[in-house]
Structure 1
Amino acid sequence: MSLETQERPKVAKGKRPYFFDDPSVDKVLAIVMALTGEVSVLRDRLDTHEKLAADKIWPTAENVESFELTEEVENERDGRRSAYLGRVMRIITEELERLKRDASAG
C-alpha cells in the first residue's frame, strides 16, 4: 500500500470536553465505557454462539458473522444492554439524581 492510498487515523480536533471537576475522572470513565462496549460486544457474540449451538450449527467465524438477528433476539439484546449499562452507570446516575433533587430543593 502506498502512502498516498493509506488512510490516516481520524483524530478529534479541539479541546476535549470534561464533565467532572477532575479530568482524571473523565479519563477513567472513558476507559470504563470503552471496556463496557467491548464486554457488550463479547456478550452479543457469545449469545450468537449459544443460539447457533441450540440450532446445532457449528459456530464457525462465517456462521457467527452471517447470523441473522430476529426482532425477538434484537429486543432481548437491547434489554440486556440497557440493564447492563444501568448497572455500570448506576453511581453516576444516582449522583445526577441527587444533584437534581438538591437543585430543586434549594
Structure 2
Amino acid sequence: MSTIDPLALAGAKSKGKRPYFLDADVERLTNVVLVLTQELAVLRERTDTLERLLEQSGVLTRQEIETFSPTKQQADERGAWTQEYLARVFRILQQEREALTRDEASSEDVAEELAKV
C-alpha cells in the first residue's frame, strides 16, 4: 500500500500570491473548468477505447457495461477516487481559503516592503 497521500499532494502549492491576469474570480472559475475539461476528455477517450476493445474481443457488450452494478468495496474505492479528484479540481479554491486563514507574507509583500525602505 502506498504511503503517498493524494489529498495532501493536491493541496501542494508554491509560496507567494497567485498572479492573476484576469479578474481573480473569473480565473478561479476558468481553472476549475479547465481541470474538469482535461479530466473529462482523458476519461472519455480511455472509456471509449476500453469499451471498443472489450466488445471486439467478445468479453463484454456495451449493454453489460451500462447495467453494471458495483460491489460495496468497488463503490468505496470509487468514492475514495472521487474525493481525490474533487481535491484536484477545487485545489485553487482550497489554497486561497487556507491563505486567508494564515498570516503569511508572500514574496510580493516582501518586495513591496523592501521597496519602501
Q: TM-score, normalised by structure 2?
A: 0.45
Using the size of structure 1 for normalisation, the TM-score is 0.48
